Structure 1
Amino acid sequence: MEKTISWESRVGLLTNPLVLKQTALTVIGAGLIMAFLLSFIMAVTGEFSSILPLLGASVLVAAGLGLLAAFIMLVFMGNRVRVRFTVSKDGILWQTVDKRVLGTNRLAVIAGVLGGSMQTAGAGALATSREKEFVAWNEIATMETNPKHLQIVLRNSWRPVMMVVCLPENFQMVVDYATQRIHPATAEDGAPRKAVVKPIGRALLRSLAVSLTSAPVFMLNSSWIELDPFFPLLMFCFALATVWLIPFFGWVVLGAGAIVAAQVLSGGIFWFSVLDGGEQAVYVLAWAGLVWLAWFSIGALRGRFPPPLLEK
């Protein structure tokens, strides 16, 4: 029977190049997503003059998010996270065992729900879902080693899937163990390039579909029907999060969509016959969009539409 290697290690945060890179990408991505969401909403509601100031606000928010992330890593986490790694014949398991981090993740979810903050609740839910991760050997295409930081970065054919931080006494042992089990794709078959294009391309197309199906819902807020803007925005944001992050957010889309549908039904069904052709078209398209978003969310929850982060 093959041996299992298990150990605990303190993973550096702001002193770790990979963590810094991932944090920077997250902050930049958050700013771009915010800019897109606000610009999209202003465009579909005809408030084009508000787009430029909101783009500036998105830059400031992204900068603030970066400073907040650095503050949390330094003050609340002590620039370290305690993690247990287990290497076996099946793959590698990452388990966060740092009680400060576990408590912070759950507190973020509770605070976000109670405070009505989608960003806080979503970030907490995403962090909670990644406290324990397993990567099988057949999901790994290559690995990169960094002896200086005792670090091994495992990659599939297009992105890092796990960072393993070893101890001085077991670094080479883990490298040898992994080397025997990883079978990288050959450069001639073109797999890495195709694998990058497919997950990102699918996610971009789904994001476009989410935007197009959500637009008529925002356009409904007129003199003949009034919607609480919070729920269409909640539905739209979490639909994009379902596309890119984790399928679990599909439950939020279904709940927010049901509330929006109830508002549309109560506010617009009795006025449909007196609407002009353009308003009737928007009304029908809004219903079609709600149906599509519900179908997509259910499919994501059932595993039919995995986000890029979960693509093999």
Structure 2
Amino acid sequence: MVEPARRSRMRRLVRLLIAFLTCIGAAAARSQPELDSLKYQDVFYASGNLRIQAYLYKPDGDGPFSAVIYNHGTRDGRERTPSPFPHVGRMLTRAGYAVLVPERRGYGKSDGEIWWKEVGSDQSRLISRLQAETDDVLAGIDYLRGLSYVDAKRLAVMGWSFGGVVSMLAAGRSTAFLAAVDQAGGALTWDGNSFMRSALIAAAEKSTTPTLFMVARNDRTTASVTTLADVFKKRNVPHKLVIYEPFTPSQGGRAAPGHALFSSQGAGLWENDVIEFLGRYLR
């Protein structure tokens, strides 16, 4: 049974996510019309008994290419709106990587319930849901292994916000990745959800994947990233921590403006860091 105070905190967190991510999503949609023409393939693969939609970007040439699984954050109220993240697709294919962007369960055309309908006000169910979404990410590995132009021995996982959370959970559960990138994973929920904190720390204590941790100084918190980096440091796992100067988005993100750094609006500030880190471990 969930305590009333905990239920109230969870409702506040959900409202924050809805307000913040709806603004950011709308802003991103308006700010990148020139990227919408970037070609990708709309694909589907199985995750257990669910059918998962994904967007597949391929560099020019025959390969075999290293590949990155990029994980989106939540987008409350627009879960079924297609979000192929063309700025990420262009950034990574230009560097020679194939890119798979899964619409995890409950998003896009994928099977499954929308996350907040399943989670409700129970904080423990949020991390259970994200672990289930991590299943969808790990199922993407098998899909990539079936592509002739992908070198499935050279994979990385990357994500922003809830996508950063599932990226860390995936790296804690699988040794298939040679690199991981955590962009402010859990920053909006870290302070108010002890289950989130425990799950991310547990994942960091298991992971042996070299990881790039990234967060803006004016995100809701930097602790969701710095705490995990400290765990990696104590365990002597290769990693890099980058805390960016405060970021002010042109649109959206008033509650935690720094969180918007990892939208298309701020991509120019972190692209080189990502490409350099991935190149160190995937080449």
Q: Which has the higher strand share?
A: 2
Q: Same fold (TM over 0.5)?
A: no
- Tell me the TM-score normalized by structure 1: 0.27
State the TM-score, normalized to the length of structure 2. 0.29
Q: Which has the higher contact order (CA 8 A, sep 6+)?
A: 2
Larger radius of gyration: 1
Which protein is richer in helix relative to its size? 1
